[in-house]
Structure 1
Amino acid sequence: MAGHRGMVGSAIWRKLEAEGYTNLIGKTSSELDLRNQAAVAEFFETEKPEVVIDAAARVGGIMANSKYPYQFLMENMQIQNNLIDFSHKTDVQKFIFLGSSCIYPKHAPQPLKEEYLLTDSLEPTNEWYAIAKIAGVKACEAIRKQFGKDYVSLMPTNLYGTHDNFDLKTSHVLPAMIRKFHDAKMNDNAPACGELDETRDEPVDASSKPVELWGSGSPMREFLFVDDLADAVCFALENKLPENLYNIGTGEDLTINELAELIQRIVGHTGKIIWDTSKPDGTPRKLMDVEKLKNEGWEATTSLEEGIKKTYDWFLNNQQKFKEVKI
């Protein structure tokens, strides 16, 4: 399994272990650079995996995508091309490729159906990552069509959960909000994203500090708890799905403002939310049509509130990892 140490990969790994799978193979990036074609070729020749799950990618939010477009395009293509190609060359019959809902056009009809792929232009703020993922989807489709192998692509909606990235310079919207509301609650000097105060366990008259968030708060987004995605991957592993591309989500969305208010309540912050409308909103709405996989027998089970509570609990138990981040 590629990417087994990340938020998505670790959730899938835990799910596979819980389901009784053994002989799982995972390498860290220092042990195996998936961008290195020769190294990946040697790995496949030596290990000879029967199934490959590709959860490896360079990921990040709007800021990271905007700052590093070449890396988001090229490194993701290198990673997936090596994995897909050598899986095919070593006769791996089952390959599960994980992508993102950003592969769909910016102004596609809502909810997003699988057949909307490549029907219009992409959202500019993440098109580099999206183009790479589209190439991976089409590569798996081509192998499926030409060689009859069970290569399937799963496109999850916005993911969050335990082991998420809470670095405010590179994180996605939901963990960034958790971090900002928590820091504002705990700090009496830095309002939104300062270093946590190591001298106290509880805030001192600090929960009224304002939190500044990007955009207008009006875009609508759908969020999927990462353990639900892991369950969907296990479902795809254990079933031969009839088509090559499936959306993975809840089929429900809310505004970014509603998300902020929900996270604010769960965290316990009582200050003001300030929207910086000079920053981009991104795609106006991005809701997945999840009927195709639902008709095959799978659907998400974790509510947004339950998932955020679990994520915040994990953050609280691991926040020492995030103390050094400043913005």
Structure 2
Amino acid sequence: MGTRAVVTGGGGFIGAYLVKRLVNDGWDVTVVDTMVRGDATRLSSVASDVRLISCDVRDEEALRRGFEGAEVVMHLAAINGTENFYKRPELVLDVGLRGALAVVNAGRSAGVPDLVVASTAEVYQTASIVPTPETIALTLPDSLNPRYSYGGSKIVTELIAFNYAQDHYRKVQVFRPHNVYGPDMGWKHVIPQFIARAISSSAATSGRRAPFAIQGDGSETRAFCFVDDIVEGILTMYRKGGHREIYHIGNDEEVSILELARRIGVSMDIELDIQAGAPAPGGTQRRCPDINKMRRLGFQPRVDLNEGLQRTIAWYLEHSREGVTNELL
């Protein structure tokens, strides 16, 4: 087997794609995941090639044992999903903060040389510069809004990675993925929920224009990045990036939410009657990463939004009975 990597949260969406890529590239991979939110079926194609440690990411001693002999720990474990930020902020914070401390301490004890940590664009929330570079100030707009439980936990995670761990690792890197999407990402994110809503609404209207409610007027913009490109970015960063560096990984193809809904309807051959609604509290008007720092390492996203949506929609149509919902985003 090749170089050993440990991926926490390897049963999650990005984590599973990363694990499969590492295995296919010849790495010796250990996954740390209780599969409470992760899904072991995501790893079915490489199950015989992966060691699975089913432990809580806050269990430092179990992590230390699992980390021994690893060249790098890639820490992706977290409680993600906007619905969880609002409904389970205590758990989001607990797993985020105590998990980061446990991972850093376990890696130090086990003598792991390299640490890669997943952060989020939520650490800067509403940027004053768009496209947004890595040097943007980190902000917590409102500590009373549970939405920021995730962003707040990731701000602290970055501080832990760069300061608490700075004297104990050969290389520490943080990446901030931006609006990742793709097949099998779950049902609590904007693109799968839009797909599910289009399926349900179309079925209920028998071919007529399908009512399709969105939050706000649809003018908010995002820059969606297909998951394979995110994984390529993580590995490019690890191979070529520096110590104590932050990298924005994503796509800079910016699109409005209204246009996203329209493209999903076109790809599904469903005529949508898009209807504006109340905006989400704490929402961000624009989000698009500046990826020039990654481009200097040789990274370039390859999957444009239309192709990525087609690949994602195909998977969700095949699995539509698992999670079709009419809940508003």
Question: Which TM-score bucket, shorter chain as reference?
Answer: 0.7 to 0.9
Mapped contact 1:159–1:226 kept (Cα < 8 A): yes
Alignment partner of 1:152 out of 173, 176, 179: 173
1:186 equivalent to 2:203? Answer: yes
Once the two structures are superposed, the pairs formed by residues 42-191 of structure 1 within 5 Å of their partners are 42-44=65-67, 47-61=68-82, 63-118=83-138, 120-122=139-141, 124=145, 126-142=147-163, 145-147=166-168, 149-166=170-187, 171-188=188-205
Q: CA deviation at 1:38?
A: 3.7
- Separation in structure 1 between the aligned mates of residue 209 and residue 223 of structure 2, nearest angstrom: 28
1:26 equivalent to 2:31? Answer: yes
- Separation in structure 1 between the aligned mates of residue 66 and residue 150 of structure 2, nearest angstrom: 26
- Separation in structure 1 between the aligned mates of residue 166 and residue 58 of structure 2, nearest angstrom: 26
Q: CA deviation at 1:145?
A: 4.0
1:258 equivalent to 2:279? Answer: no
Aligned AA (1:15): R
Q: Unpaired runs of 5+ in structure 1?
A: 189-204
Aligned AA (1:172): H
Aligned AA (1:64): N
Cα 1:277–1:42, aligned 2, differ >3 Å: closer, same or farther? same
Cα 1:270–1:281, aligned 2, differ >3 Å: closer, same or farther? farther
Q: CA deviation at 1:242?
A: 5.0
- Separation in structure 1 between the aligned mates of residue 32 and residue 177 of structure 2, nearest angstrom: 23
RMSD: 2.2
**Alignment match, 2:21:** 15
Q: CA deviation at 1:187?
A: 3.6
- Separation in structure 2 between the aligned mates of residue 220 and residue 43 of structure 1, nearest angstrom: 41
SS at match of 2:30: coil
Q: CA deviation at 1:24?
A: 1.0
- Separation in structure 2 between the aligned mates of residue 27 and residue 141 of structure 1, nearest angstrom: 22
Q: CA deviation at 1:135?
A: 1.5
- Which one has more relative contact order, counting CA pairs under 8 Å at least 6 apart? 1
- Separation in structure 2 between the aligned mates of residue 239 and residue 7 of structure 1, nearest angstrom: 24
- Separation in structure 1 between the aligned mates of residue 161 and residue 32 of structure 2, nearest angstrom: 22
Mapped contact 2:198–2:210 kept (Cα < 8 A): no
1:35 equivalent to 2:76? Answer: no
Q: Unpaired runs of 5+ in structure 2?
A: 1-6, 36-53
Identity %: 23
Aligned AA (2:81): G
**Alignment match, 1:249:** 250
Q: CA deviation at 1:228?
A: 0.7
Mapped contact 1:219–1:281 kept (Cα < 8 A): no
Q: TM-score, normalised by structure 2?
A: 0.84
Deviations 1:235-261 (A, max 9, x none): 123234255101011122111111111
SS at match of 2:180: strand
Count of residues in Structure 1 that have an aligned counterpart in Structure 2: 301
Q: CA deviation at 1:148?
A: 5.3
